Amino acid sequence: EVQLVESGGGLVQPGGSLRLSCAASGFTFSSYWMSWVRQSPGRGLEWVANINRDGREKYYVDSVEGRFTISRDNAKNSLSLQMNSLGVEDTAIYYCARDTVGASYYWGQGTLVTVSS
């Protein structure tokens, strides 16, 4: 069974940093592109970033480019999102997702990031 479990969310002050992790199991992690998608409270979905199978290709939405870094460790079946210079607009539930042919087939349960003073 495919499982994606996010962790690392919490309360952080504006300007602070946070690192999210996603533990993957039930599939060959190194064979899939992976994504982060976020959802602000009561709002819609926003694609944040994705990464290719070997970690060499990374893409970001403009609003996080230069502040967030997506990475993966295929040996540990783990996906990460390093978030720096956080602003209140980054407050959201962050989902880890496994992509197939571009669409996000499997999603984790999400981890809440709250940016507030």
CB of 106 to other proteins, least distance (A): 8
Strands 18-25 and 10-12: unpaired
Assess contact for 61 and 51: CB atoms under 8 A.
no
Which amino acid belongs to residue 26? G
How far apart are the C-alpha atoms of 117 and 80, rounded to whole Å? 25
Binding mask 10-49 for other proteins (x = CB under 8 A): -------------------------x-x------xxxx--
- Backbone torsion region of residue 98, taken as left when φ is above 0, otherwise alpha when ψ lies between -120 and 50, otherwise beta: beta
* Maximal C-alpha separation, the chain: 40
CB of 63 to other proteins, least distance (A): 9
Binding mask 58-87 for other proteins (x = CB under 8 A): -xxxx-------------------------
By C-beta, is 16 or 110 nearer to other proteins? 110
- The number of residues that bind other proteins (CB under 8 A) is 22
- Residues contributing to the site for other proteins (CB under 8 A): 35, 37, 44-47, 50, 59-62, 95, 100-105, 107-110
